[in-house]
Structure 1
Amino acid sequence: MNHDQQLLVMVVEDELMIATTLEFALESKGYRVLGPVATVSEALALLETATPNIALIDYRLATTTTEALLPSLDSLQVSVCVLTGYNPDQLPPAYSEYTKLEKPFRLNTLMQALEKLISV
């Protein structure tokens, strides 16, 4: 990875422990982190001020899902990785095009997924 141009990764995750772990892991690998935030509205507000290279988004946030966030990420051409506790086949069709990681996942699995998204 080219550390001269640090990649910006947005984290949308409502479980504080997971969000904090992701933030720490990403920063330790040289990524800059946007967030973490726990709601779609907070994520949309972040997108008004910054455009991440990659978005790590939890499928389900408390009582809602991140589906409303997808059009904004697509229009900004942000690579998306969906984190989910569900079987990826159970996600709505809107998520079909995105990389998915089933929770619980290992951090090195996450890093491999990010490397793949970067190289696309």
Structure 2
Amino acid sequence: MNATAPDWPQVMVVEDDMMISATLEIALESRDYRVLGPVATLEEAYQLLETSEPDIALIDYRLAATTTEALLTSLNARQVPTCVLTGLRPDELPAAYAGCAVLQKPFRLDALLDALKQVRPG
């Protein structure tokens, strides 16, 4: 596998559950996505955005004691399509997440890939 292929979409992964983030990384890389991260905190996510331009973002709704709503604002300003990973139903999320694809945890790999196809640019 050539992990530096320029045409592979870059997916930013922001998830604080190590098992989920590792599974996402393996699954995405095996399907020709380049993973940025994964990172587990808002601070790490902002640092990643300083040096990277993701094509898509997968973000957990809740990171420890905070949410990713401020990060979502930054991603929207950069026009990065975003998929939110959460245990909540879409109607339970704040209005800021209305334009995002939502994957309810636990989710199956085929649901993740379908969500990525929906938000993938181009």
Range class of TM-score, shorter chain: over 0.9
Give ranges in structure 1 of 5+ residues lacking alignment: none
Shift of residue 17 of structure 1?
Answer: 0.2
Aligned length: 118
Q: Which amino acid aligns with 1:77?
A: Q
Other-structure match for 1:62: 64
Q: CA deviation at 1:24?
A: 0.3
Distance in 2 (CA, whole Å) between partners of 1:119 and 1:42 is: 24
Among 52, 55, 62, the residue aligned to 1:53:
55
CA RMSD, Structure 1 to Structure 2 (Å): 1.2
Paired residue for 1:106?
108
Per-residue CA deviation, residues 65-108 of structure 1 (Å, 9 max, x unaligned), is 00010121011110000000112211111111111010000011
**Alignment-derived partner of residue 40 in structure 2:** 38
Following superposition, the deviation at residue 52 of structure 1 comes to 0.3
Q: Give the ranges of 4+ consecutive aligned residues of structure 1 lying more than 2 Å apart after TM superposition.
A: none
Q: Distance in 2 between matches of 1:48 and 1:86?
A: 29
Q: TM-score, normalised by structure 2?
A: 0.92
Amino acid at match of 1:34: L
Identity of aligned residues (%): 60
1:116 pairs with one of 107, 110, 118: 118
- What 5-or-longer segments of structure 2 have no aligned partner? none
Report the Cα distance in structure 2 between the residues aligned to 1:4 and 1:116, rounded to whole angstroms. Answer: 21
Partner residue of 1:88 out of 87, 90, 94? 90
